[in-house]
A and B are shown apart, each in its own frame.
Chain A
Amino acid sequence: MDILYLLIPLSVVLAIVIGAAFWLAVDGGQFDDLDKPALDVVVDDDRPRP
């Protein structure tokens, strides 16, 4: 069961990494509107880049 000494600390690090990822996602406004952004992917934006 020595593998536990690697896996348990690893799980702690992973949890912290996932937590940081969610933190950034919330700050980036990813959870502000859960409906409209889905359309931005589906619909082409044919406008020329300014």
Chain B
Amino acid sequence: MTLELASGAAAAAGCFHCGLPVAAGTSFTFDAGGGRRVFCCLGCQAISTSIAGLGLDDYYRVRSAPAPRAPKADEHFDAFDDPVVQERFVSQAPGALEAELILEGLACAACAWLVEQVVARSAGVKSISVNYSTRRARLAWDPATTRLGEVLRAIHALGYSAWPYEEGRLALVEQREGRCLLRRLWVAGLGMMQVMMYAVPGYLAGEGEIAGDAASLMRWAGLVLTAPVMAYSAAPFFRGAWRDLRLSHLGMDVPIALGLLAAFAASVHATVAGAGDVYFDSIAMFVFLITGGRYLELVARRRAGSSLQRLARLVPQMARRVRASDGHEESVAVARLYVGDRVLVRPGETVPADGRLESASASVSQAWLSGESRALARAPGDAVLGGSVNAGDAFVLVVTRLGADTALASIHRLLERALAERPRWADAAQRASAMFVAGILAVAALAGLAWLAIEPSRALWIAVAVLIVTCPCALALATPVALTAGVGALARANVVAASAEAIERLAGATDIVFDKTGTLTHGQPRLLETLPLGLPTRDDCFALASRIARASAHPIDTVFRDASTPIAPASTDMGELPRSVAGQGIETMIEGRRYRLGREGFVAQLCASPLPSSLEEVADTVTWLGDEGGWLARFRIGDELRAEARAAISDLRALGLAVHLLSGDEAGAVNRVAASLGIVDASARATPEDKRSRVADMQRAGARVAMVGDGINDAPVLAQADVSIAMGGGADLAQVHAHAVLLSNSPADLVRAVRIARRTRRVIRQNLFWALAYNIVVIPLAVAGLVTPLIAGIGMSASSLAVVANAARLRR
């Protein structure tokens, strides 16, 4: 209990649950056995109370990191109970349904324990097992007693997020694959250690120091332990080589399999005949090193894969349908909508399908199409495109087009075309390795033939020695270990690479193209400037505006809802409820005075006085504040540059990259950003097709283009670019097709990513050089008949270790 008391005392400094600072005078407390706990918010208080209520306070004792802050609960959990939606991720088990879940917000292993305990206690849950390494959970529940939505809600109530994993049915296959590789690695590792013990005495002892039968016994012991390594651990190489040969193609597996077989056959022959060299230790070590490399690759790939899945989580598209019979709204999956349905879209929600506006007015943002975040006004009967975001008040539309017919789906098709046109990743490495393999086989055969003429009894052994020492262990490891280490280093720079290929391409990029929205700017409207007109100070203006804005659900209030301002006490003097006029602004009464906040014309109606003539025109969006007595303030609202953008751009230039700006935004905004960052090549108002063809033009001129984007409208251009990087907060579609995802959204991490990619490429080149140099030195020796099993073993492990150690430098 002492630990718990200690963390209770620490609550004076931060929230007992999430560790964030607690504002002075908050009343979110809970008296537990260990003392009074103080919380930062109602959410954390509720979670902690329910944890204590379930008797799971041990969580606070064993956790090693504070919990995530309680999230806002506004999710469509019930949507996951719709059979149409469930079809994608639920599998049947006897008496239960099963699904694989992705968990978000697990800060330490104790969180995984907590989720498991809480869910296992709820009624109807058959079993749950949470895997902290993969951040996934396998859930089995009885559909007669509980629903999936209930379980998800319970996890959400704990402060974590859970989503069905769409590839969940693949999870078992994935698990079997991982375990199989681990078993192969264990068998090879044990075999290697033990066989080495039998081999080393032979290397150390002088001629005749070991009795003949003892030496023979050790050879037989080596044979017995190498046999499972060959038959089980090395099986994938033989299968791979067989497949390659049937397709008449020389892959890396061919010389590996051939070398292993030749060495093993020669060693078995030597063991049985009691004469000649044995290579059992080299065989076991070789298989262990290569299998180890493949296992590390699998782990890295899986980790990257699941972070991507977490971003591209499966959120069912839900819609609010207005029932024709009684006019009530009901929540349905978009897949269940029909043409002619009437759909209600609340402020901030996404329009589920293309439709015709029925309400008197609407204001929507079509950022996904144009890249422009400004809201557009729509009149009754106007078309509203699916995927747009409602930037004004709630409206009703009549569905006209669904699914594959929508404008959004046509962007999808554009994307597919770009993907198909992407120049195929030239497999130069593959062709080079095939030539290398052919070369080795030729050298081994020639050496054998030559020795057949010189000294026939040694010919076979020399051909085998050539195959073994050149066994391209280092060559086979050179690229994968460096790429694996590079992917790991990128992840620490907040960049998740979807494939190892991304690193090679990023390292080779010559041009980098930014899409302005969201990459260089914050992507959200912010208050840039406050100009007091009738009020004494800027703070007064802001305080009044935020008081007015907070009272309404108008989108403008996000600008005035700044975390740094103290939260005003709940006002009791609201004489009249605020009135929000669609597309115009808000009107409200505070302390007997009538205020208006919004567009110029709207506020002018109230003010009845002309605008001060001395004001200069500004390009940004402007919001006015006024009362019956006159104008009070002008707020300039716009997209602000990210703080680190300028430094990042100059760093990218220093790395030799040409920087371009290709945006769908209005010319004014684009030019201002380009000017302040010193970007010469900037184009505005580009459509998705424009962007794609611009990048294609650059590629034809010989540039290798890295594209950084974030919207669905960027998806086609992301696919066209040589390497594409999506922002973590962007639309899911773009991420799925991007080579890499920038989780932090910070351009500074982009610079780090380019540096890491280039370092990785350098390490790969060094590794290939070492591996080739080793072979060039050792092949003549083997052909000359100077290579003993000891030299072969040392040479092979030294070259492999050099390659692995060189790659390990990337982890620093």
A residues contacting B by CB (< 8 A) are: 1, 4-5, 8-9, 11-12, 15-16, 18-19, 22-23, 26-27, 29, 31-36, 38-40, 42-47
Q: Which of B130, B182, B218 contacts A31 (CB 8 A)?
A: B182
Asked if B462 is at the interface of the complex by the 8 Å CB criterion, the answer is no
* Contact assessment for A40 and B221 in the assembled complex, using a CB-CB cutoff below 8 Å: no
Interface pairs (27), CB distance under 8 Å: A4-B214, A4-B217, A8-B218, A9-B217, A12-B224, A15-B191, A19-B190, A19-B228, A22-B186, A22-B190, A23-B186, A26-B179, A26-B183, A27-B183, A29-B179, A31-B182, A33-B133, A35-B132, A36-B109, A36-B112, A36-B131, A39-B110, A39-B112, A43-B58, A43-B61, A43-B62, A43-B113
* Contact assessment for A42 and B133 in the assembled complex, using a CB-CB cutoff below 8 Å: no
* Contact assessment for A39 and B175 in the assembled complex, using a CB-CB cutoff below 8 Å: no
A16 to chain B, nearest CB (A): 8
Give CA–CA (A43, B130) in the complex, Å.
Answer: 16
B residues contacting A by CB (< 8 A) are: 55, 58, 61-62, 109-110, 112-113, 116-117, 121, 130-134, 175, 178-179, 182-183, 186-187, 190-191, 194, 197-198, 211, 214, 217-218, 221, 224-225, 228
Give CA–CA (A15, B214) in the complex, Å.
Answer: 19
Give CA–CA (A34, B299) in the complex, Å.
Answer: 13
Closest to B110 in A: A39
Beyond the given pairs A23-B186, A33-B131, A43-B113, 9 more chain A to chain B contacts, judged by CB atoms under 8 angstroms and listed by A's residue number, are A5-B217, A15-B194, A22-B183, A27-B183, A33-B112, A36-B131, A39-B62, A39-B110, A43-B62
Q: Which of B109, B133, B186 contacts A26 (CB 8 A)?
A: B186
Give CA–CA (A16, B183) in the complex, Å.
Answer: 13
Across chains A and B, the number of contacting residue pairs, with CB separation under 8 Å, is: 83
Residues of A within 8 A of B182 (CB): 26, 31
* Contact assessment for B109 and A38 in the assembled complex, using a CB-CB cutoff below 8 Å: yes
Residues of A within 8 A of B221 (CB): 8-9, 11-12
- 4 smallest CB-CB distances across A and B, nearest first, come from A35-B109, A36-B132, A36-B112, A35-B132
Residues of B within 8 A of A47 (CB): 121
Give CA–CA (A15, B178) in the complex, Å.
Answer: 23
State the majority secondary structure of interface residues on B: helix
Residues of B within 8 A of A23 (CB): 183, 186-187
Give CA–CA (A16, B232) in the complex, Å.
Answer: 13
Residues of A within 8 A of B132 (CB): 33, 35-36
Q: A15-B225, A19-B228 are in contact. Are A8 and B217 (CB under 8 A)?
A: yes
Residues of B within 8 A of A8 (CB): 198, 217-218, 221
Residues of B within 8 A of A19 (CB): 186-187, 190-191, 228
**Residue among B61, B113, B116, B211 having the largest count of chain A Cβ atoms under 10 Å:** B113
Q: A15-B194, A19-B190 are in contact. Are A1 and B112 (CB under 8 A)?
A: no
B459 to chain A, nearest CB (A): 33
Give CA–CA (A4, B212) in the complex, Å.
Answer: 12
B545 to chain A, nearest CB (A): 48
Q: A12-B221, A26-B186 are in contact. Are A35 and B133 (CB under 8 A)?
A: yes
Give CA–CA (A24, B178) in the complex, Å.
Answer: 14
Q: A8-B217, A33-B133, A36-B112 are in contact. Are A1 and B58 (CB under 8 A)?
A: no
Residues of B within 8 A of A1 (CB): 211, 214
Residues of A within 8 A of B191 (CB): 15, 19
Give CA–CA (A9, B194) in the complex, Å.
Answer: 12
B271 to chain A, nearest CB (A): 14
**Residue among B61, B62, B186 having the largest count of chain A Cβ atoms under 10 Å:** B186
Closest to A45 in B: B117
Q: A1-B211, A26-B179 are in contact. Are A11 and B197 (CB under 8 A)?
A: yes
Give CA–CA (A23, B117) in the complex, Å.
Answer: 29
* Contact assessment for A32 and B131 in the assembled complex, using a CB-CB cutoff below 8 Å: yes
Q: Which of B110, B112, B190 contacts A18 (CB 8 A)?
A: B190
* Contact assessment for A27 and B198 in the assembled complex, using a CB-CB cutoff below 8 Å: no
Closest to B217 in A: A8
